[in-house]
Structure 1
Amino acid sequence: MAVIRRRAVHELDEGELVKRLAEIRLELAKERAHSAIGAAPKNPGRVRELRRAIARILTEITKRRTK
């Protein structure tokens, strides 16, 4: 799954954002579990990308709810 960009986050409605957030959090948990067992990561920067995607989505959700 590709990491979501700011423009894409802005275009999604809140329900889709929550759904995508759950998917990305699950993917992050899998990546962390993979590295916790001592396996070499396929893409070392993936965890960072996922964390930033989660932050983008949460920021957009918060922004919409405060308006």
Structure 2
Amino acid sequence: MALFRAKDVKQFSDVELQENMDKLRMDLVQHYGKVSAGGATENPGHIRELRRTIARMMTEQNRRRTA
């Protein structure tokens, strides 16, 4: 799944934003599952980037709700 920057996130419609956030959350859960099972992920920095991208999307959702 591609990671998005703030300018990319702002261009999404509300539906696209929610769909992409759901996909990223599922990807994050899968990575956490690997780690909790005792395995190592191929790229540990990917978890951090996933969390940050989800936070960007949540920030944009909140901004749209209040605006």
TM-score, length-normalised on structure 1?
A: 0.96
Superposed CA offset, 1:25-49 (max 9, x none):
0000000001111111100101100
Equivalent-residue separation in structure 1 for 2:36 and 2:49 (angstroms): 18
Aligned to 2:39: 39
1:39 match: secondary structure: coil
Unaligned runs of 5+ in 1: none
C-alpha distance in 2, partners of 1:61/1:13?
Answer: 10
**Between the two proteins, what is the percent identity of the paired residues?**
39
Matched positions, count:
67
Secondary structure in 2 matching 1:15 = helix
Q: Which runs of 5+ in 2 are unaligned?
A: none
What stretches of structure 1 move > 4 A for 4+ residues in a row? Answer: none
Relative to the length of structure 2, the TM-score reads 0.96
